[in-house]
Amino acid sequence: MKKNWWKIAAVVLVLYSIIAGFLLKVPVLPILHETIRNLYFHVTMWFSMIILLFVSVWNSVRYLSGFNSKYDIVAKEAVHISIVFGLCGLATGMLWANYTWGEPWPNDPKLNGVAIAMLFYFAYLVLRNSIDEEQKRARIAAIYNIFAFVMFIVFTMILPRMTDSLHPGNGGNPGFGKYEDIDNNMRMVFYPAIIGWTLIGTWIMQLGIRYHKLNTIIHSNKN
Amino acid sequence: MNKYKITFLTTILGLLSAVAYSQEAQQQVEMADAMRQSGKIYVVVAVLCIVFLGIVAYLISIDRKVSRLESKMKDNK
């Protein structure tokens, strides 16, 4: 139980974000109306994804500085759950865009950028599966992961800021914070939601890692 | 005769007051109607909580299965 306190924290934080996210007051804005509450669910997907992708890169770097395969597994599982969060982010974003921007996929640089960036991570998984030798796979995947993360940041955070984007905080479109679209009330839900979902992701990631470890033990016993 | 009259009157009045009281009670006392408010957003919140907790319960069950397997592996070693 002592080791699992963060899992409880994850559940409590997300539960709080669901309850408070629907019941607390939000700023009254045109177009957005009540959908501003999507901030607690759609945007948290992306934040959690980026945090977990950073965890992945961090573990790839650690793998490269010692070649301990433990870190390689963490990097892989972090990418897995990040992709799940990313797909949820895309799906919820398309739904939201449909009712606020008029179509599910407006030609927005952030959308196109993130679609390309997601492909980098699909390629990461394909690359991993295409190499049989463990050491080689881990090494190439780790180096590729570093590039993929840099490209992800470039395509989702830097390039959209250089042109006009519908997303707040990009191009001529100031961020939520600057416009004061979101007030402190919203931040009280938004930040806990990010932490909660990131911890949920970590939990699922940890399960994947543990499954992987058991799998390797079984295989080594067979041989 | 008088006795009967009095009993009859008290019963009628008593019944009337009970009806009146219950009507008053219906107007004033609000009970457990958070879920029945016009917006009914609480219902949506409750549904989402149930879905989320269901997924969490499933996660916990997987977690425990993996833990059991891990301890089994340790014993075998």
How far apart are the CA of B30 and the nearest CA of chain A, in angstroms? 20
Where b means 16+ CB within 10 Å and e means fewer, A10-48 reads bbebbbebbbbbbeeebeeeeebeeebbbbbbbbbbbbb
How large is the ipTM?
Answer: 0.73
Contact B66/A214 with Cβ under 8 angstroms?
A: yes
A47 pLDDT exceeds 80? yes
CA distance B26 to chain A (A): 27
**Through-space distance between the first and last CA atoms of chain A, rounded to whole angstroms:** 35
- The rounded percent of chain B whose pLDDT value lies above 70 is 61
- Maximum pairwise Cα distance, chain B: 98
Q: Residues A13-37: pLDDT tens digits?
A: 999 999 998 888 887 777 777 888 8
Q: Which of A183, A193, A190, A188 is nearest to A26 (CA)?
A: A183
A-interface mutation test, from B40, B47, B49, most A Cβ less than 10 A away: B49
CB A115 within 8 Å of CB A182: no
**Region of residue A183 (left: phi > 0; alpha: psi -120 to 50; beta: else):** beta
Q: What is the mean pLDDT of residues A176-196?
A: 77
Per-residue pLDDT of chain B (77 residues; tens, 9 = 90+): 577 777 777 777 766 666 666 555 556 676 766 766 677 788 888 888 988 999 999 999 999 999 999 998 888 76
| Dist. CA B8–CA B15, nearest whole Å | 11
Task: Flag whether residue B43 sits within 8 Å of chain A, measured between CB atoms.
Answer: no
Residue the block writes with tokens 């425990």: B64
- Neighbouring residues of A113: CB distance < 8 A, sequence distance ≥ 6: A155, A156, A159, A160
pTM recorded for the entire structure: 0.81
